[in-house]
Chain A
Amino acid sequence: MNEFYQHLINGLVLGSIYALIALGYTMVYGIMQLINFAHGEVTMMGAMICLTVLNAMLGSSGMPHYLILLLGMGTAVIFCMALGFTIERVAYRPLRNAPRLAPLITAIGMSIVLQNIAMLMWGKRPLNFPDIIPIARFEILGAHITNVQIVIIVSAVVLMLGLWLLINRTRLGRAMRATSQSPALASLMGINPNTIISVTFMIGGGLAAVAGVMVNAYYGPAHYTMGFMLGLKAFTAAVLGGIGNVAGAMFGGILLGLIESLGAGYIHKLTFGFMGSDYQDVFAFMVLILILVFRPSGLFGERVGDRA
């Protein structure tokens, strides 16, 4: 049974990270009906920037470690907000009225460009997260959990709650919801849809930065290619929960994390030894295809028009 609990904990941690990234996809999609392919790369950039700050501060200043960590995280968040803003301005806004294919192709292009810029800036070798967090390991029901994992789950939940409040309880949130329903009508109500779209990209970028730092701190080295797969899986999570639906993205992320962990753990038994953990990455894609085929609106989504 310990094994099962351990898989559950692994899945929750992974799922929390997916959820944070999925929020960025789902918000952008909700407002512009656009898959922001470059979002995974924003996550990677967040990890890289935080690392750079950490390494610079650790050597020179005598600040306490948690302060440096906060500073690194803060810089990463601000940088990624700016990055999200810039991506939208450069790659998507000029194509607002172009056919759907055009922004999709620039999105892929942006993703490649960001990856390669990161490679040129930080090199091709993976970069380590410095050993500044003393790791404490706990045992619950025979399963191991570290303080880092707990922090990841808790802060993900806090951030998601905060976002939910922002969207449902504030003026800005109301403007965002209005824009997502109809940008034209929203602008008649005195809302500037361009501002709202920019704000959406910035919030998504900030959350992605946090997720990137978490991946780096918990799973290990940051690498310029780390964002793509992560982004793809997070997108799957967003679709699973119902794209455009913020609560759905949170739930979808956690669900996907659990599916992957339990799937990789038990597939061998489930397929009578035919398949092993080598098919771990298939789960996300299978979930994606199945959901899109049988319930394109996701588990919690409203029915969206599926015209091409």
Chain B
Amino acid sequence: MTMLHNSLLQRWPQLKQDRRAVIAAWLLIALALALLPFVTDAALGRSWVRIVDFALLYILLALGLNIVVGYAGLLDLGYIAFYGVGAYLYALLASPHFGLHLPVWAILPLGALLAAIFGMLLGAPTLKLRGDYLAIVTLGFGEIIHIFLRNLDKPVNITNGPQGVNLIDPISIAGINLHQTQQFLGITFYKDYLYYYLFLTIALLIIFICIRLQDSRIGRAWVAIREDEVAAAAMGINTRNIKLLAFGMGATFGGISGGLFAGYQGYISPESFILNESIIVVCMIVLGGMGNLFGVILGAILLTTLPEALRYLGELQQWLFGRIVLDPADYRMLLYGLALVLMMLLRPAGILPSVRRKRELQPTPVVAEHEKDTVYDSTR
């Protein structure tokens, strides 16, 4: 195994020239992703498939926030509001609450659109503010949305208030109800598998959009604004519109993720859309690496599985000492906070840094001549 691995490594430079090897590698990845729910279920149990599903939802969220924070450099602390807007729209249009049962393909785009509108509404008046003002205004915006979700049950009952919306329709696509176990070709697909494939498809689609965006005119405009807004404006970039676009685009992904969450969970209440969740998503992208897609994905996976890993730590203590000495749930937020501080101090660009971002977040602005070349090379 190791020998094979080593020889593969050594031969990689030639292999990657070879189209067949590249195709084989991609096929391997595709196979792994396709088999993941089966393998996870067999190895760890179906609850882990559910955790993987939630991780995918958080990846969507993190990718959306990454556009705002990572690409455009605007710190948004109320991002979970868009997630909430998407979730509530799905819940209201597909539940007994209003007696509406619209299909998912109608609601998700609507949710995305509504979230985008909210994003622009928030962005339009505030984007001229300097970075830290923007952070606190978005925080306030997130709180306002939360307060409205919690209180709009009177005088007309819109959100059903603190009780939340219940019995939300499961997502069904092309007549297939994802909440029911399905049989294809003699293989049993449980509901968590079916949701996995749906979430994965959407996540891949969004990753694809992000990759394309990164290198597009818009993506480069975002980076330019982040690095020097005046210079960017001087280059003829309409900074206001481009920033608005970042806000709208980020909000869209949040809205989609929220809709999926509502359909998957079947029950939502305002307590799922609190400031803490916004901060956790910020943690994901800071930890993983702002501006780097794969860093952000890594961050999302790490932070969704960490609480589960901590849970085993609790069980381990129970087993070792007969009681829980250090309550892992108590240390989770402390760890997140420490991670934010330490990452910024020691490795500001994240675990998997984006090359450009890494250079930017170094305290010394001077870049050596030879480094410059590599930087420009790799961002092309």
Contacts and interface: CB of A to CB of B under 8 A. Distances in A.
A284 B134 CA distance: 16
A260 to B, nearest CB: 14
B72 to A, nearest CB: 10
Interface stretch (B47-55, B122-130, B183-191): B122-130
B310 interface: no
B345 A95 contact: yes
A139 interface: no
B337 A102 contact: no
A91 B147 contact: no
B175 to A, nearest CB: 42
Interface stretch (B6-14, B22-30, B138-146): B138-146
Interface stretch (B166-174, B247-255, B328-336, B370-378): B328-336
A127 interface: no
Contacts of B348: 98, 102
A133 B143 CA distance: 36
A225 to B, nearest CB: 10
A281 B334 contact: no
B91 interface: no
B340 A278 contact: no
A7 B191 CA distance: 55
Contact of A112 (B73, B134, B279): B279
Contacts of B155: 273-274
Nearest to B139: A232
Given A94-B345, A116-B333, A279-B151, A105 B75 contact: yes
A112 B336 contact: yes
B131 interface: yes
A94 B361 CA distance: 12
Contacts of B147: 278-279, 281-282
Interface in A69-124: 90-91, 94-106, 108-113, 115-117, 119-120
Interface stretch (A159-167, A197-205, A285-293): A285-293
B229 A113 contact: no
B240 to A, nearest CB: 12
Contacts of A131: none
Interface residues of A, number: 51
B340 A105 contact: yes
Given A109-B338, A112-B336, A278-B147, A119 B129 contact: no
A307 B229 contact: yes
Nearest to A294: B125
B130 A108 contact: no
Interface string B103-139: 0000000000000000000000110111111111101
Contact of B334 (A113, A284, A296): A113
Contact of B340 (A97, A109, A120, A282): A109
B85 to A, nearest CB: 17
B277 interface: no
B274 to A, nearest CB: 12
A160 to B, nearest CB: 23
Interface in B293-334: 330-331, 333-334
Contact of A119 (B143, B151, B330, B341): B330
Contacts of A103: 344
A108 B285 CA distance: 14
B339 interface: yes
Contact of A282 (B77, B130, B137, B144): B144
B61 interface: no
Nearest to B124: A293
A300 interface: no
Interface in A225-264: 232, 235-236, 239
A166 B80 CA distance: 43
B360 interface: yes
B341 A97 contact: no
Interface string B259-291: 000000000000000000001001000100010
B363 A95 contact: yes
Given A112-B340, A279-B151, A281-B147, A289 B137 contact: yes
Contacts of A293: 125-126
Nearest to B122: A289
B205 interface: no
A288 to B, nearest CB: 5
B336 A292 contact: no
A283 B295 CA distance: 38
Q: Which of A33, A106, A273, A296 has the most CB of B within 10 A?
A: A106
A282 B146 CA distance: 10
A285 B132 contact: no
25 contacts: A35-B133, A35-B136, A95-B344, A98-B344, A99-B73, A99-B360, A99-B361, A101-B75, A104-B75, A106-B341, A109-B341, A112-B337, A116-B331, A232-B140, A273-B155, A281-B143, A281-B147, A282-B144, A288-B136, A289-B141, A292-B126, A307-B229, A308-B73, A308-B131, A308-B134
Given A232-B140, A308-B129, 16 more contacts: A33-B132, A101-B131, A112-B337, A113-B338, A115-B337, A116-B333, A119-B330, A120-B334, A235-B136, A239-B133, A278-B147, A278-B151, A282-B147, A286-B144, A293-B126, A306-B128
Interface of B: 69, 73, 75, 77, 125-126, 128-137, 139-141, 143-144, 147, 150-151, 155, 229-230, 279, 282, 286, 290, 330-331, 333-334, 336-341, 343-345, 348, 360-361, 363-365
Lowest 10 A-B CB distances belong to which pairs? A109-B340, A112-B337, A285-B140, A116-B334, A109-B341, A113-B337, A293-B125, A278-B151, A106-B344, A35-B132
